[in-house]
């Protein structure tokens, strides 16, 4: 007996894969999906723009480790969300995008039907692990299983499944969708682990560089650093994997000269779950230099051969690979690494922006609990925070540093709060980026999430203006008319205020963390928060 349409079966398949939240805006081409959601336990969240849906799914996934899920309308729904999907692709975030597409008879015909694109699958395929057009409901179970296997067994990246509108309406006779068991990443090759262990055991000055691929291996990473007595530096994507208060932690200071010197002086560098990307060097005039032996550990075989040629390469999941290394590496005597780390941090020459923003960052840090999640946008205050804001645990720092988009901060924070409702969540955004997705204040207010939104107002695109002046370009298009953000936020149903002092800032954040709705806290970059007051 029929159990409904293919669209309803998609929802049952999501339930079988333990999806509890989806983000999307319903449309005439996705009615059958919503027919299924109407009788589902899955929570549906309606953003005010499909880009917001993608960013919310991104933030949800970064905090939970589970795939964020978007349901998108064909055509403009997909193209609106492409930026968010691309950000997830750049940062190796699992995201399942289920969309409609024109009917089977219209595909590729160019008839100009509603929401038609020349090749929607090819468009999304550029920023996904794979994109699949479901032409037959009988394929659904297998395609869903392939998507979730991709998230679990390799480098996690978005997957797109598009379903023609006529296929969504086909009756489906299957009675249930059981999620098949999904194998994890393959175990690392023992010979490669042996070689890496030998290099690390013999090292006198080892250094660990930990990237986003170590998010699930925090305890193992700390144990390896302590076993080796090795300084640890993380990328922004790996921020918090080793608590930045740990005596072996250099934090996210890769671009600082003192850290670059320590890496260059190392006789063995182990880079785990990182691309060793140039974006990490955004604040530096130098390049990353590795003179000693380089061990690369990654779940993605392509990363083992990119940019920096390794002395030893180990293909495998970070958690399992580090565990295998710990089984092979004995306890070493102290090499004085905590003292070397402390000396490097004392010697560090922070950027002028970090020094200027430090009082603000310290005020934010005082107000936020240790388990807080911070979602950041592309703004100068966040750039300084990437370097200098202390984070004590993984999956706590959400940053678009790889793709560098604007507008992700607020919707990422909403998704993170929905994924981890018991954790405090805050957002750091700038006036330029905030205007990209300001409409999601309505979503946050509707959901009544307790969310401090820290708006750093520079009255324009300050970072680009500085870059123009540095390059000898007369500033054009960077000085903007700025609306009354406090009034707008209140109009959306949020709490909102402007703060002009550090104590006022800390107090406003502490109040906002437990408020009955989101709170916009505007800070103007006018010196009132960054210039020490005279006694």
CATH code for the domain in which residue 205 is found: 3.40.50.1220
* Domain termination site, one of 325, 347, 369: 347
Domain identity same for 242 and 267: yes
Report yes or no on 403 lying in a domain.
Answer: yes
Mode of pairing for the β-strands spanning 452-457 and 425-430: parallel
Question: What pLDDT score does 204 carry?
Answer: 95
User: What confidence category does residue 370 fall into, taking pLDDT thresholds of 50, 70 and 90?
Assistant: very high
Please indicate whether residue 29 or residue 400 has the higher confidence score (pLDDT). Answer: 29
Pair (370, 444) in one structural domain: yes
d(CA 377, CA 180) in angstroms, rounded, equals 37
Answer yes or no: is 423 within a domain: yes
Closest alpha carbon to 1 in 195, 172, 236: 172
In a domain, 174, yes or no: no
Question: 390 and 267, same structural domain?
Answer: no
Integer Cα distance of 411 and 398 in angstroms: 11
At 180, the pLDDT band (50, 70, 90 cuts) reads low
Running DSSP on this structure, what letter comes out for residue 302? G
240: helix, coil or strand?
coil
Based on the fold, state whether residues 359 and 220 are members of the same structural domain: no
pLDDT at 446 over 50: yes
Structure tokens at 86: 């691309």
Per DSSP, the chain holds a count of helices (H) and strands (E) of 20, 17
How far apart CA 72 and CA 10 sit, in angstroms, is 13
Nearest 5°: phi and psi at 243? -50, 135
483 touches 507 (CB < 8 A) = no
By 3-state DSSP, what share of the chain in percent is helix, strand and coil, each rounded to 5?
40, 15, 45
Q: Which two tokens stand for residue 439?
A: 């409409």
User: Do 512 and 363 lie in a common domain?
Assistant: yes
Residue at which a domain ends, from 347, 368, 402? 347
Are 125 and 99 a contacting pair, CB within 8 Å?
no
Q: Calculate the dihedral angle through the C-alpha atoms of 219, 225, 231, 233, rounding to the nearest 10 degrees.
A: -40
Q: Look up the CATH number of the domain holding residue 494.
A: 3.40.50.970
Query: Strand runs (DSSP E) across 433-504, as ranges?
Result: 452-457, 495-499
What CA–CA distance (Å, rounded) separates 159 from 144? Answer: 10
Say which residue the tokens 């603000």 belong to.
Answer: 360
**Do 327 and 365 have their domain in common?**
no
Q: What is the pLDDT of residues 2-61, one digit of tens each?
A: 579 999 999 999 999 999 999 999 999 999 999 999 999 999 999 999 999 999 999 999
Q: What percent of the chain has pLDDT over 70?
A: 97
- Which of 320, 347, 374 is the endpoint of a domain? 347
Q: Which two tokens stand for residue 324?
A: 């295998």
pLDDT of 529 > 90? The answer is no
Residue 535 falls inside a structural domain: no
**493 and 436, same structural domain?**
yes
Rounded Cα distance between 517 and 519, Å, is 7
Say if residue 306 is in the same domain as residue 239. Answer: yes
Indicate whether 178 belongs to any domain.
no
Percent of the chain predicted with pLDDT > 90: 83
Phi first, then psi, for residue 426 (nearest 5°) are: -135, 160
Which H or E run contains 519? strand 519-524
Nearest CA-CA partner of 209 in 240, 231, 176: 231
Smallest CA-to-CA distance from 364 within 391, 345, 328 is with 391
Whether pTM exceeds 0.75: yes
Q: Is residue 52 part of a domain?
A: yes
Q: How many domains does the chain have?
A: 3
Give strand pairing partners of 452. Answer: 519
Give the residue numbers spanning the domain of 241: 190-347
3-state secondary structure 332-373: CCCCCHHHHHHHHHHHCCCCHHHHHHHHHHHHHHHHCCCCCE
Same domain for 307 and 375: no
Which residues partner with 71 through β-bridges? 24, 98
63 and 99 part of one domain? yes
Specify whether 10 is located in the same domain as 140.
yes
In a domain, 256, yes or no: yes
Flag whether 530 is in a domain: no
| Co-location of 380 and 357 in the same domain | yes
């Amino acid at each position: 007996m029929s159990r409904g349409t293919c669209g309803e079966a998609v929802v049952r398949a999501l339930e079988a894969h333990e999806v509890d939240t989806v983000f999307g805006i319903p449309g005439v081409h996705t009615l059958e999906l919503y027919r299924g959601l109407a009788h589902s336990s899955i929570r549906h969240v309606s953003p005010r723009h499909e880009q917001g849906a993608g960013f919310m799914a991104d933030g949800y996934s970064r905090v939970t480790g589970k795939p964020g899920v978007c349901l998108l309308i064909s055509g403009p729904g997909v193209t609106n969300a492409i930026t968010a999907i691309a950000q997830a692709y750049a940062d190796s975030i699992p995201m399942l995008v289920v969309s409609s597409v024109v009917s089977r008879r219209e595909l590729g015909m160019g008839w100009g039907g509603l929401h038609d694109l020349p090749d929607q699958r090819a468009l999304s395929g550029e920023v996904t692990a794979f994109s699949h057009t479901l032409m037959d409901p009988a394929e659904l179970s297998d395609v869903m299983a392939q998507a979730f296997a991709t998230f679990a067994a390799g480098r996690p990246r978005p997957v797109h499944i598009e379903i023609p509108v006529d296929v969504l309406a086909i009756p489906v006779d299957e009675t249930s969708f059981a999620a098949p068991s999904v194998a994890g990443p393959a175990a690392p090759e023992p010979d490669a682990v042996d070689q890496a262990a030998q290099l690390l055991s013999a090292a006198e000055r080892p250094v660990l560089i930990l990237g986003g691929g170590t998010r699930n291996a925090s305890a193992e990473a700390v144990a390896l650093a302590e076993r080796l007595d090795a300084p640890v530096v993380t990328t922004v994507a790996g921020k918090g994997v080793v608590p930045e208060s740990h005596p072996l932690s250099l934090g996210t200071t890769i671009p600082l000269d003192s850290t670059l010197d320590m890496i260059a002086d190392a006789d063995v560098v182990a880079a785990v779950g990182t691309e060793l990307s140039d974006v990490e060097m955004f604040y530096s005039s130098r390049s990353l230099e590795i003179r000693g032996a380089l061990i690369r550990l990654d779940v993605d075989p392509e990363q083992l051969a990119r940019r920096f040629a390794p002395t030893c390469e180990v293909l495998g999941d970070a958690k399992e690979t580090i565990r295998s290394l710990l089984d092979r590496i004995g306890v070493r005597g102290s090499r004085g690494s905590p003292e070397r780390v402390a000396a490097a941090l004392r010697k560090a020459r922070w950027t002028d922006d970090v020094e200027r923003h430090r009082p603000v960052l310290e005020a934010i840090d005082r107000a936020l609990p240790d388990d807080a999640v911070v979602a950041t946008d592309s703004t100068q205050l966040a750039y300084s925070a990437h370097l200098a804001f202390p984070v004590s645990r993984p999956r706590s720092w959400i940053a678009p540093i790889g793709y560098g988009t604007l507008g992700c901060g607020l919707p990422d924070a909403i998704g993170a709060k929905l994924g981890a409702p018991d954790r405090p969540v805050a957002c750091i955004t700038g006036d330029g980026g905030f205007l990209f997705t300001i409409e999601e204040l309505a979503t946050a207010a509707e959901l009544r999430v307790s969310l401090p939104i820290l708006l750093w107002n520079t009255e324009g695109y300050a970072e680009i203006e500085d870059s123009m002046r540095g390059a000898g370009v007369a500033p054009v298009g960077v000085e903007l008319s700025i609306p009354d953000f406090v009034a707008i936020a209140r109009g959306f149903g949020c709490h909102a205020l402007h703060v002009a002092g550090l104590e006022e800032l800390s107090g406003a954040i502490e109040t906002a963390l437990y408020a009955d709705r989101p709170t916009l806290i505007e800070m103007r970059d006018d010196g009132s928060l960054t210039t020490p007051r005279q006694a």
